[in-house]
Structure 1
Amino acid sequence: MHVQEWLDTVPAAAVYAVVALVIGLESLGIPLPGEIVLVSAALLSSQHSAINPIVLGACATAGAVIGDSIGYAIGRKGGRPLLAWLARKFPRHFSEGHVATAEKSFEKWGMWAVFFGRFIALLRIFAGPLAGVLHMPYWKFLTANVLGGICWAGGTTAVIYYVGVVAEDWLKRFSYLGLVVAVLIGLASMLVIRRKAKKAQGAQQEEVEVGAP
């Protein structure tokens, strides 16, 4: 079952909770499809009034900020051994190459790596734990974490919601336009058929008159 189809079967409160939980766990360092869940829920909110996009965005932001903060604390305490353990558990995401790439980003951009990392799938998983491992000052991390969470979660929710509303409105208009076109085509076809029928009838009458003595 598709994510959006599954979310459509649960109450609105459960949708908020699932979005916050999945995004929080992803931000904590567990590879989960947080962005897919958020996009699906935001698109669903554009189709169902029961799901409030503002509440959805707030829950997604809270999950992102809290998850990243927990990941930071775990990374700070676990250090390098934590990265080695994660590499064994999730070799696809925490390989030496991926860790090295993330570290270079942190060394180059500092707290901005946390902010912009929120918009990149790989860094979104790394940001919290790696910032803790590298002992980034918490106030810098928290500032970038909150701003990044608001811009990513809130921005994604708003964009997908309005895209869904516009698309649904366009499809409705398109359906009305299609109905009008279909009616016009039907009327035109009927007029052409009637015109051809009259011509055929007139030709038949002429033949009868010519053949009459």
Structure 2
Amino acid sequence: MTSFLDPVIAFVSAHPWLAYLTLFMAALFEATPVVGALVPGSTIILALSALVPGGELTLWGVLAAAITGALIGDGSAFWTGHRAQREILNAWPMARYPAAMAQSEAFFHRWGTLAVFFGRFVPPIRAFVPVTAGALGMRPALFFGVNIPAVLAWAGAHVLPGVLAVSALHHYAGLPHHQHVGKHLWMLAVFAAAIMALGVWALRRRRIAKAS
């Protein structure tokens, strides 16, 4: 495992822009209708956020990349639905996932405006709520007034807990003579967390496929 982690750390250290781009794309795709149900964006964000305590990436850079990607993804989906109206809910590729679309619409009808906020934290619903909100005629000012705080809270909830936990582990095992061991301990911790998150994502994707 150590032989695998060392090149990863070295590569990200040498090419941080690529890591930030990956974070941006993960957040963007996760917010895209249909695609968001297939891309493990949260797992990618979790894994790369763990590089903050080691100094390979900066906290503000990670947050900025995730927030920007999510805002663009949600905004694009909303405007698509807003312009096409309800017809888009039955068009390709949404038509291939009738159960997910029905669940998203029911979620929106149940929670109203709050669906935009809560939906950001419920995969795979978050990939369908923005386009549903637009298709059902939600006012743009109202959507973005709720969506922007939701994205900020979502980014913090995805990035900060892992960074703080890994920082504590890194600090605990980061004494001079344990520096090398500590660095790999926190990397192993985040990879374990990422694997668990990937497993949850895979189970949810399987449920969507069965429902469709």
- Alignment of structure 1 residues 155-166 onto 2, 5 Å: 155-166=157-168
- Residues 1:125 and 2:127 are matched in the alignment: yes
CA distance in 1, matches of 2:32, 2:94: 15
- Alignment of structure 1 residues 59-74 onto 2, 5 Å: 59-74=65-80
Q: Aligned in 2, Cα 1:7/1:65: closer, same or farther, shift over 3 Å? A: farther
- Residues 1:114 and 2:121 are matched in the alignment: no
* Matched-pair contact (CA < 8 Å) for 2:32–2:74: yes
Q: Which residue of 2 aligns with 1:37?
A: 44
CA distance in 2, matches of 1:121, 1:141: 19
Q: Which amino acid aligns with 2:22?
A: V
CA distance in 1, matches of 2:161, 2:8: 19
For residue 130 of structure 1, give the secondary structure of its aligned residue in structure 2.
helix
Residue 57 (structure 1) shift: 0.7
CA distance in 1, matches of 2:43, 2:89: 25
Q: Deviations over 1:66-85 (max 9, x none)?
A: 11000111122334443331
Q: Which residue of 2 aligns with 1:56?
A: 62
Q: Which residue of 1 aligns with 2:142?
A: 140
* Matched-pair contact (CA < 8 Å) for 2:82–2:135: yes
Q: How big is the alpha-carbon RMSD for the aligned residues of Structure 1 and Structure 2? A: 2.3
Provide structure 1 residue ranges, at least 5 long, that are not aligned to the other structure.
177-213
Q: Which amino acid aligns with 1:27?
A: A
* Matched-pair contact (CA < 8 Å) for 1:7–1:15: no
- TM-score calculated relative to the size of structure 2: 0.70
Number of aligned residues: 166
Q: Which amino acid aligns with 1:131?
A: A
Q: Which residue of 1 aligns with 2:201?
A: none
For residue 44 of structure 1, give the secondary structure of its aligned residue in structure 2.
coil
Q: In the alignment, which of 18, 24, 49 is matched to residue 20 of structure 1?
A: 24
- TM-score calculated relative to the size of structure 1: 0.70
CA distance in 1, matches of 2:20, 2:8: 10
Q: Which amino acid aligns with 1:53?
A: L
Q: In the alignment, which of 146, 152, 174 is matched to residue 150 of structure 1?
A: 152
Provide structure 2 residue ranges, at least 5 long, that are not aligned to the other structure.
179-212
Residue 160 (structure 1) shift: 0.9
For residue 120 of structure 1, give the secondary structure of its aligned residue in structure 2.
coil
For residue 144 of structure 2, give the secondary structure of its aligned residue in structure 1.
helix
CA distance in 2, matches of 1:98, 1:159: 29
Residue 137 (structure 1) shift: 0.9
Q: In the alignment, which of 93, 97, 105 is matched to residue 103 of structure 1?
A: 105
